[in-house]
Structure 1
Amino acid sequence: MDGGGGRRITASPRPCNGKRVVARKRGRGFGGGDGFVNSVKKLQRREICSKRDRTFTMTDAQERFRNIRLQEEYDTHDPKGHCTMVLPFLRKRSKIIEIVAARDMVFALAQSGVCAAFSRETNQRICFLNVTPDEVIRSLFYNKNNDSLITVSVYASDNFSSLKCRSTRIEYIQRGQPDAGFALFESESLKWPGFVEFDDVNSKVLTYSAQDSIYKVFDLKNYTMLYSIANKNVQEIKISPGIMLLILTKSGGCVPLEILSIEDGTVLKSFNHLLHRNKKVDFIEQFNEKLLVKQENENLQILDVRDFQLIEVSRTEFMTPSAFIFLYENQLFLTFRNRTVAVWNFRGELVTSFEDHLLWHPDCNTNNIHITSDQDLIISYCKADSDDPLSEGNGSINISNILTGKCLAKIKAGNSFPNENECSQSSKKHMCASTVRSTAAEALEDITALFYDEERNEIYTGNRLGLVHVWSN
């Protein structure tokens, strides 16, 4: 789920934990309960695209992760309450729900809405990204087009009802100037059920204003509005490389569909897809020219929209997953169901079952899953070996080959010893700027977010205590 991706964030006023993953990052929702919960109404999307040639063999991948150890620990909690925050829940310790890394910076977002920026060079917290005392940050997106971080927030002064976006260049954050950014999409009313979706592959932003039922597409490079879609019959929009799928209101036993060019909104194809009457639609997903349709207790249908050839996969073989990841370079897709991961092709054939990759979270928490940009590896927080006494009560970080299902490496309590309250090698170079207070076993307890920085070959994990741990060679 990582490598270049997109995500959708809504202004949902109620909790919802569903996730749809088309490829790279994590969407965030907001709701009631104790403070703010990590909830998603419109599901996060991700697009995975290959960025370079496959230069690593399986052996090389094993070597990359062989000596990874717990090296550093960061804390997003500020007991003094930074900037004299007026919202009590912002001053409470809460779990990490999202991690983003770019340009030797690590950004960690807590469930409370506090977001902290850390430097991997100095191993120090640079600043908090909350610019005003009443700002609750809901999600992060790294815009590689202009080397900036986009934050999506709600505000107490607005009764937390509307999404507000801000773009801040990474260099400003490195200088401790998070307030040097500028607002985005100010003309849009993003009240629930409105949303904003960032699509990294096509370099586009999709917004939906529920107030006037208008979708707008912006250029992610310069935030220029490209075109709008004013069709009150649109029920959902799915984005693929180069195209958008519009799912319109069902009519009789059919669902009208339109395929549009992502660049200018031109309608490329319109057609109706026949549905079983009175059966709930589990999902409709678009993958290039392939349309995946699944209804309750029915077979999976894979339709080629070019020639309308149809492949059906028995409902006993393909059961409705809780999340997808589409691997565009490999022409495959991953499904997540009941803690297990499987790889399928578009002939409806099961390609891979993973030998040792039982996910820790039963609800397929995709914050704890990362796909490399070459689409060859999946890194996840998994259930630890039952025969490992050191792993009792905590999980492991498993690295597996997507095409073979083979587990290549595993970070677990028994093979990843920290430096026991001494400065790590990296912090020694910086006058012991930070120490690792957690043991490896403690750092592997209840991981709530995971990110892999391919350039540094480092894994960052966050936990329920608001701590971020750095795992590297």
Structure 2
Amino acid sequence: MEATKKIPSSPRPSLSRRILAGKRACPFESSSNCLKKLFKREISARGNRAFNCTNAQEKFHNFQLREEFDTYDPKGNWFLQLNFLKKRSKIVEIVAAKEIVFALAQSGVCAAFSRDTNRKICYLNISPDEVIRSLFYNKNNDSLITVSVYASDNFSTLKCRTTPIQYIRRGQPDAGFSLFESESLKWPGFVEFDDVNGKVLTYSAQDGIYKVFDLKNYTFLYSIPDEHVSEIKISPGIMLLIYERAPGHVPLKILSIEDGTVLKDFRHLLHRNKKVDFIEQFNEKLLVKQDNENLQILDVRNSQLTEVSRTEFMTPSAFIFLYENQLFLTFRNRTVVVWNFRGELVTSFEDHLLWHPDCNTNNIYITSDQDLIISYCKSHPHECTDEGRVGSINISNILTGKCLAKICASDPNVKVSPRGRINSSSVHSTVREALEDITALFYDEEKNEIYSGNRYGRVHVWSS
């Protein structure tokens, strides 16, 4: 799901994260709508949707709790000098690739587990004072990128390292090499990995320069001086440069992501005395929202402006853009809704009340076809309190809002059912315990397995 990931260099992990769900890049000049493609097929779009719903229901039918992994190992953590690394902490990120599940704890400890043997392979921390902040699987060269900070540097500078999956499988996490060593990624610097365009964006506050690298081989492509640039947003094929606000307007530039060529230089008018809630770019569409004002959707090609009433569209806490479907999801007060770029509400979900009020995007997964959303939700939507409650993993159709499947502790069909291999790790948790306070979620589409992590540092495997 994660098409771009921005990792700031603050000493503590960022609570906000922009997630763009995309499968392939679209050119700036044109946009392809896969819904229109469906209508062009001989079979009707309604028939396709019905088939996909049925297929999804069968895919998630009879999911059981199969395995349990534990990132906490006091014996395995003997080499870590920092006391907080030795303590049990919640899972904040899960990534799976090539039969390996990577689980990152909030403490900064990251463990790799094999789905072949169902055993822990190794820890990815290769230095006694290393705190891993985030993970990124680079499918271009089959490697895992870790972004870390170090106690020796007062946790102030991001350091990136790439390690081929084959070496991690052999238990050799130190066989990788450092990335972007020439860049000083101290606060407020950052690194952003863009899977859609195959690019990496770095910002060195010390030098005052943004740089773009190739994600395939990490070669430097071009730089952008940060003179008056307040933020950069990445979209398929393009980058939006948002400059410091001027009286009555905000200067904007759209650049080609490939070579930094300026495609459009323009201004967007603003209400003078009202703060900007957000400015977002989606292909040729610019979304602008100011405090207590209507949402503006501007087509930058022809300057056509669409407005959505402030009573209909209230400022969300997060976005997920669906490039294949030309739609976007908004998250607000535990609810998810789907909009199109005509400003119309497309979908409201019937049973998808998110467990976490702050929209923790690590608890949300969008499939690569962008037809399903998998989230950690309230198992009973009418429950308003979190205390003493156990959530559920809900799988819903994005286009219809229907709840297609649900992993719920109250379902008698959901049981602890280890695969029974000789080397299989025992499952110590009950189904109810495994569904309590889930803090990270990942769906492996190839294996059809859901991985959930909880506040105790344990990872649970759900599959049919």
Output the TM-score relative to the length of structure 2.
0.91
Q: For residue 174 of structure 1, report the CA deviation from its aligned partner.
A: 0.2
Q: Does 1:402 align with 2:421?
A: no
Q: Match for 1:436 among 420, 427, 432? A: 427
The equivalences for 1:233-312 within 5 A come to 233-312=228-307
- Cross-structure match for 2:60: 65
- Cross-structure match for 1:218: 213
- Cross-structure match for 1:118: 113
Distance across 1 between alignment mates of 2:342 and 2:219 = 39
- Kept in 2: contact 1:19–1:322 (CA 8 A): no
The equivalences for 1:314-393 within 5 A come to 314-385=309-380, 393=389
The equivalences for 1:69-108 within 5 A come to 69-108=64-103
Q: For residue 6 of structure 1, report the CA deviation from its aligned partner.
A: 1.5
Identity of aligned residues (%): 75
Where 2:89 maps in the other structure, the secondary structure is coil
What do the CA deviations read for 1:243-283 (whole angstroms, capped 9, x no partner)?
Answer: 00000111211100000000000000000000000111000
The equivalences for 1:50-199 within 5 A come to 57-199=52-194
- Cross-structure match for 2:11: 13
- Kept in 2: contact 1:302–1:310 (CA 8 A): yes
What do the CA deviations read for 1:364-407 (whole angstroms, capped 9, x no partner)?
Answer: 1111000000000000000012699xx96100000000000000
Could you tell me which runs of 5 or more consecutive residues in structure 1 were left unpaired when the two chains were aligned.
26-48
Output the TM-score relative to the length of structure 1.
0.90
- Kept in 1: contact 2:238–2:254 (CA 8 A): yes
Q: Match for 1:458 among 449, 454, 457? A: 449
Could you tell me which runs of 5 or more consecutive residues in structure 2 were left unpaired when the two chains were aligned.
24-32, 39-47
Where 2:74 maps in the other structure, the secondary structure is coil
Q: For residue 24 of structure 1, report the CA deviation from its aligned partner.
A: 7.0
Letter in 2 for 1:10: P
Distance across 1 between alignment mates of 2:326 and 2:400 = 15
Residues paired across the two proteins, number: 438
Letter in 1 for 2:55: D
- Kept in 2: contact 1:83–1:133 (CA 8 A): no
What do the CA deviations read for 1:390-425 (whole angstroms, capped 9, x no partner)?
Answer: x96100000000000000000001225433xxx711
Q: For residue 82 of structure 1, report the CA deviation from its aligned partner.
A: 2.2
- Kept in 2: contact 1:20–1:322 (CA 8 A): no
Letter in 2 for 1:8: K
Where 1:292 maps in the other structure, the secondary structure is strand
Where 1:172 maps in the other structure, the secondary structure is helix
Q: For residue 83 of structure 1, report the CA deviation from its aligned partner.
A: 4.6
Distance across 2 between alignment mates of 1:231 and 1:57 = 46
The equivalences for 1:33-52 within 5 A come to none
Letter in 1 for 2:415: P
Q: For residue 23 of structure 1, report the CA deviation from its aligned partner.
A: 3.0
Distance across 2 between alignment mates of 1:96 and 1:267 = 41
- Kept in 2: contact 1:322–1:336 (CA 8 A): yes
Moved more, 245-254 or 302-311: 245-254
What do the CA deviations read for 1:189-237 (whole angstroms, capped 9, x no partner)?
Answer: 0000000000000000000000011000000000000000013211000
Q: For residue 5 of structure 1, report the CA deviation from its aligned partner.
A: 1.2
What do the CA deviations read for 1:312-336 (whole angstroms, capped 9, x no partner)?
Answer: 0000000000000000110000000
Q: Does 1:418 align with 2:415?
A: yes
Q: For residue 297 of structure 1, report the CA deviation from its aligned partner.
A: 0.3
Letter in 2 for 1:418: K
Q: For residue 64 of structure 1, report the CA deviation from its aligned partner.
A: 0.3
* CA RMSD of superposed structures (Å): 1.9
- Kept in 2: contact 1:397–1:412 (CA 8 A): yes
- Cross-structure match for 1:44: none
Distance across 2 between alignment mates of 1:399 and 1:124 = 28
Q: For residue 17 of structure 1, report the CA deviation from its aligned partner.
A: 2.1
Judging changes above 3 Å, is the alpha-carbon distance between structure 1 residues 387 and 353 closer, same or farther for their aligned structure 2 residues? closer
Letter in 1 for 2:242: I
Letter in 1 for 2:147: V
Q: For residue 20 of structure 1, report the CA deviation from its aligned partner.
A: 3.0
Where 1:258 maps in the other structure, the secondary structure is strand
What do the CA deviations read for 1:163-204 (whole angstroms, capped 9, x no partner)?
Answer: 000000000000000000000000000000000000000000
Distance across 1 between alignment mates of 2:415 and 2:162 = 36
- Kept in 1: contact 2:3–2:19 (CA 8 A): no
Letter in 2 for 1:6: T
Q: For residue 338 of structure 1, report the CA deviation from its aligned partner.
A: 0.2
Q: For residue 80 of structure 1, report the CA deviation from its aligned partner.
A: 2.1
Q: For residue 162 of structure 1, report the CA deviation from its aligned partner.
A: 0.2
Distance across 2 between alignment mates of 1:436 and 1:309 = 57
